Amino acid sequence: MNGFSRIRDFLVRFRAALPSDLRTYYHPFIYGLVGGLSAVAFQASVQALFQWLWVVPSKSLGLAFVPVSFGVIVGTSIIAGFILTHVSKEAAGSGIPQVKAAFWRDFGYLPFRVVVAKFFGGVITIGGGSSLGREGPTVHIAGTLASNVAGLLGAPKQERRPALLAGAAAGLAAAFNTPLSAITFVLEEIMEDLNSTRYLAPVLIASVTSTFVAHLFLGDNPAFVIPGTARFSWKLYLFVVPVAALSGLIGVIFQKGALIWRDHIKNYRRIPLAFRPAIGAFVNWMCGIAVFLTIAHIGVFGLGYNDLQSMLAGHITGVQATILLVAKLAATITVYAWGGAGGIFSPTLFFGAAAGLALSQLFSLATHLPPNEQLALTVAGMSACLGAVVRAPITSILIVFEMTHQFAFVPLLMIGALASQAVSRAFCRTNFYSEILERDGIDLDQHIPIKSWAALQKRPIAMIATFKPITVNTTAREELLSIVEEYPYRFFPLVRGNKLEGLILRDSVLETSEENIAPRPARTISPNTPVKEAVDRMVTDSAYFLVLVAGQEGPPIGIVTLHDVLRAQSQITDQF
């Protein structure tokens, strides 16, 4: 009997020994336990490596830190690149898009090799100085571990969605010490349904369990220590809008810059995959070392949490924050685009804090803002930038509140969320993670069930259309009679020379005695047209039947009828 069999037998026997009332909570508890332990191990490893490779040398080596830092960041990126290439290519990037795709497309299954590649690749990448976050990788690692533990407990591959979701929540809860926002994040982002209750119980249990694990090993302090805040003046609620709008715009620049560049890099065949992260690391080094030589800060490298904490403590000026913002934004876009293994939570929090601090000090030149109000705008920028990128406003509010333990910020965060969401939605059709999946050709709309009529109306009409319709290529009644006798349809697209010429009506064929049937005009529509717009056209034009065409003069590729719309509406389910 091998080790995995022994572990499985022990877990199964232990569950059987529990009272029946507790067995329901056993699996989520295990998912939370492994998720919390993996998150603690990942965080401790990243911090220890970064302290050894960056913090200590930056204080002790003087100018020798410049060449040493170059060797460190490029060398660790090459090592990480080989891990990602030869162990699991799926471990590159944030990890949250992969979790989302696995949840819907693969029923919650992720192979164990992802854990190995993501853990070691992520630790070496982030601890080695690349400007990425640890939260996405933690979600990926914890979710994958939970999925594989579910397999040990007997769950088949097609029934691992609860495990993956619970593990993902456990990872985020332990990574930030934020159990509430971990719950809302997996519902808002992965499930895309904040009202869902189907998986709420396992997610809640796993999140709470992992939080206790994090408290046991890391303590129960908030992620960022902030002094108590006094009451805010009324003008602060006006200033938070431009701060949030600017932070949201920075988030948009990051999203578009990273993903557009990432698309171009995919076509660089001359550069081996294993060496691509090193190119991003080199640009990261140039940005970071320029900042180090200018203002003696290393926040452009790694997570940047030390400088972020200094911003919140008021130890960094607005000019320094602006320098850090520009350099870290350029570094993070580059590192992510070139395939580094890391997330985007930490960088976006950094961007928002720097923007908020810089603007707050600019406002203070015109009208005095006390330190606590400058701090409030800095925190509001953090929430706004994160919310703009991940498009999860409830999570962005809760996570910053939980990270600071300051309830006084919540009204400002809510106003900021509205402003940043408006900016994000004006420039980006969808959020960072969904755009990655779309650019990679992964269409989750085929797998995510439609939960409401409002959601169905936003989907493309192609989702409910009938493809490869029965067409005719003649108007001769004698030939058409055999077709209408074989097929019971009311309309038949007339296609000749790969071109749509009109519609042949069944009633016209059966009721006329003429040798040739005159075709009726066909109303066409693009397959990407939203269902709502297609239905409005049917109602306005009194049309029962629309033909989907590829391009203005393209051939017909499908048809859609009011019956298709009604059938789709009747199949709407609230099971998720």
What would the pLDDT profile of 352-378 be if each residue is shown by its tens digit?
A: 999 999 999 999 888 888 888 899 999
Q: What is the pLDDT of residue 21?
A: 67
Average pLDDT over the chain reads 89
- Percent of the chain with pLDDT strictly greater than 70: 95
Q: What is the pLDDT of residue 65?
A: 95
Q: What is the pLDDT of residue 20?
A: 67
C-alpha to C-alpha distance for 261 and 47, rounded to whole angstroms: 29
Q: What is the pLDDT of residue 38?
A: 96
Secondary structure (DSSP) of 455-479: HHHHSBGGGTPEES---B---BHHH
pTM of the model: 0.84
C-alpha to C-alpha distance for 468 and 397, rounded to whole angstroms: 47
pLDDT band of 9, cuts 50, 70, 90: confident
Q: Where is pLDDT greater, at 541 or 418?
A: 418
Q: What is the pLDDT of residue 122?
A: 95
DSSP state of 90: G
pLDDT beyond 90 at 209: yes
According to the per-residue pLDDT averaged within each range, which of 2-16, 129-143, 472-486, 514-528 is highest? 129-143
Q: What is the pLDDT of residue 51?
A: 96
CA atoms lying within 13 Å on the CB side of residue 527 = 16
C-alpha to C-alpha distance for 429 and 55, rounded to whole angstroms: 40
Domains of the chain: residue spans and CATH: 3-218 (1.10.3080.10), 236-445 (1.10.3080.10), 453-570 (3.10.580.10)
pLDDT beyond 50 at 575: no
pLDDT beyond 90 at 53: yes
C-alpha to C-alpha distance for 518 and 499, rounded to whole angstroms: 16
C-alpha to C-alpha distance for 22 and 18, rounded to whole angstroms: 6
Q: Where is pLDDT greater, at 474 or 129?
A: 129
pLDDT band of 3, cuts 50, 70, 90: low
Q: What is the pLDDT of residue 18?
A: 67
Q: What is the pLDDT of residue 230?
A: 64
Q: What is the pLDDT of residue 499?
A: 84
Q: How far is CA 576 from the centre of its chain?
A: 19
190-194, 449-453, 519-523, 530-534: range with lowest mean pLDDT:
449-453
Q: What is the pLDDT of residue 573?
A: 52
Nearest to 395, CA basis, from 121, 90, 159, 190: 190
pLDDT beyond 60 at 574: no
